[in-house]
Structure 1
Amino acid sequence: MRSKRTFDFVKSSRKFMIFSALVTLLGIVIVSISGLNYGIDFSSGTSVDVTTSKSVDEAKLRIFLDEQKSEFGEYSLTTAESRDSIRFKNALNDQQEKAFKAAFSSQIDVDASYEINIVDADIAQEQQKSALIGMAVACLGIVLYVSMRFEWRFAIAAVTSLIYSAFFVITMFSIFRFEVNLPFILAVLTIIGYAINDTVVIFDRIRENLRFTKIKTHGDLDLLVNNSIWQTLSRSINTVITVLIASVCLFIFGGESIKLFSLAMIFGLVSGAYSSIFIASQLWLYLKKKQPIKKVAVKPQSTP
């Protein structure tokens, strides 16, 4: 089985593994120092979505909110044509909620409608815990599935690549201070699904090629993995591009509430495709080489 391709994934794997390790270490440092910008889903606060009857100037709205800081606390603002999203770090009580509506109606728009969600510290902590449990259960399920369908080496390689993909998205959100909320967790879980799909496709081809290839040396294993990647590369690229186009369209044309979900998907699809090719398959190859190659016994010829 000879490869007709010019690029050798296995031969270049050391460079990509070192690059991946450096990116991961950099991500750990950044997340440790900067942390994550948690939304009100994971930290106490108040979300106020205001739909106005007319377009409101952002500068005017910020002046209004700055004047109300003493009563409602720090805020963040995202504006659209007729819908403004205000996030207060404090959980407003009933009196503050009524006071905000009255002030906004009198100073900004009397016909405005409000959608207010308040999350206290206990609920935020419970949601944070539930999100972590959900991600842990997903990873455990993938380990069990890949172990039963393939072998433990495939499972270790798959989970390692998934952790890299998810952590890459977390790092990007930490660097750019994007808000981490429940849609972000949904995006990460979706990314894990797409990444494991790409990884299983490559693993399935590796397993299939193992059945029809006589492995005599480690060089034969290198060639097998390299050819398996090339044989599945077009399918992986087409799948990623298809979903990536949809995610980019959602990011550009979608509403404010779905933009961060789409952005997380874009980061995750790229890192998932990368990790399937340059981390999962290469890590399996490294583990497989630790196993002694079985030599076929040659029967001695009988002398007449």
Structure 2
Amino acid sequence: MHSNRKFNFARSANKFLLISAIITVIGIVATGFLGLNYGIDFSAGTSMDITSKKPIDDVKIGEFLDGENIGTYSLTVSNSDNRASVRFKDALTQEQERKLKADYHAQFDPEASFEVNVVDPEIAQEQQRSALIGMAIACIGIVLYVSIRFEWRFAIAAVLSLVYDAFFVIAIFSIFQLEVNLPFILAVLTIIGYSINDTVVIFDRIRENLRFAKIKTPEDYDDLVNKSIWQTLARSINTVITVLIAAVCLFIFGSVSIKLFSLAMIVGLASGAYSSIFIASQIWLYFKKKQPIKKIPAKAATNP
């Protein structure tokens, strides 16, 4: 049913599921201890993007912000387009915002422009709640879609692989304390959509091959899954490489505001390709092999 020279994905299912479980446990522990570095979208505060016609020195602007005594902040400077992004932990008052702008104009660039976004705690909690609800609705919709189109075993396998994809990206952002904001949530939802599309392609081929397969032993299911993965592998690899090229270009050449979005996409796309091949189909295989094999009647086995 398959060439012996080809790698057997199904026979190596336990190894990949064990590796995935270990990665998940490490991610849970890391997230539990380190937590997430919420941006102002989810933790309140003020974001200020400064665009200048003159080069921005990160050391000098850091000293300037320290002298303003506005509290804790994070600073990112892009010298390529003379932009600086400042994230203040606390929401600035109108007087603090006015003074900071006036002082910057006086010390650095009178023509500098500012884009300010202030989020109070109530709005931050509401956005955090809405993001969680949106992700939950997306997962429920995927379960219903896959259950109707395929069967419950496919649905469980798909959801577990999607949870792995989303949690893998979250764990990476937790370990490296990267900022989690609304673009991050958009990236996770995009990754979920991409991953389920890739998974459904493999599931569709498994279902098609299952229609014509003569299953006599559990090992026949291994061969069927392995054959289905190899039949869709080129398509999966080509798709993920194409999308990854676009995501990497956004990360390298994009502005500061979309770099973390692009990074989340890169990590999630790689994880989605992995989970579709090594997790989703293997979980379905595990459940399917638990099902008793229907014996083919003697007449049906001998007559065409």
Instruction: Give yes or no for TM over 0.5.
Output: yes
Task: Could you tell me which runs of 5 or more consecutive residues in structure 2 were left unpaired when the two chains were aligned.
Answer: none
Distance 2:113 2:238 in 1: 44
Report if aligned partners of 1:3, 1:227 keep a CA contact under 8 Å in 2: no
Residue 206 of structure 2 is matched in structure 1 by 206
Q: Percent identity?
A: 69
Residue 256 of structure 1 is matched in structure 2 by 256
1:176 Cα offset (Å): 1.1
After TM superposition, the score normalised by the length of structure 2 is 0.96
Q: Which amino acid aligns with 1:267?
A: V
1:297 Cα offset (Å): 2.3
* Paired residues, number: 298
Residue 276 of structure 1 is matched in structure 2 by 276
Distance 1:299 1:149 in 2: 32
Q: Which amino acid aligns with 1:80?
A: S
Q: How does 1:43-82 map to 2 (within 5 A)?
A: 43-69=43-69, 72-81=70-79, 82=82
Distance 1:148 1:256 in 2: 42
Q: Secondary structure at the match of 1:54?
A: coil
1:4 Cα offset (Å): 4.7
Residue 188 of structure 2 is matched in structure 1 by 188
- The answer on 1:31 being equivalent to 2:31 is yes
After superposition, the CA RMSD in angstroms is: 1.2
Runs of 4+ in 1 over 2 A off after TM superposition: 1-6, 297-300
1:11 Cα offset (Å): 1.3
Segment drifting more, 95-104 vs 32-41:
95-104
Query: Cα 1:192–1:224, aligned 2, differ >3 Å: closer, same or farther?
Result: same
1:177-223 CA-partner distances (Å, limit 9, x unpaired) = 11100100000000001100110000000000001111111011110
Task: Could you tell me which runs of 5 or more consecutive residues in structure 1 were left unpaired when the two chains were aligned.
Answer: none
Q: Secondary structure at the match of 2:7?
A: coil
1:290 Cα offset (Å): 1.1
Distance 1:299 1:133 in 2: 54
Residue 14 of structure 1 is matched in structure 2 by 14
- The answer on 1:133 being equivalent to 2:129 is no
Distance 2:94 2:224 in 1: 66
1:108 Cα offset (Å): 2.1
Q: Which amino acid aligns with 2:105?
A: S
Q: Which amino acid aligns with 2:258?
A: I
Q: Secondary structure at the match of 2:43?
A: coil
1:36-94 CA-partner distances (Å, limit 9, x unpaired) = 1110000110001111121121111111111122xx11110011132111110010111
1:132-182 CA-partner distances (Å, limit 9, x unpaired) = 000000000000000000000000000000000110000111111111001
Q: Secondary structure at the match of 1:189?
A: helix
Report if aligned partners of 1:3, 1:223 keep a CA contact under 8 Å in 2: no
Residue 227 of structure 1 is matched in structure 2 by 227
Segment drifting more, 104-113 vs 178-187:
104-113
Residue 290 of structure 1 is matched in structure 2 by 290
After TM superposition, the score normalised by the length of structure 1 is 0.96
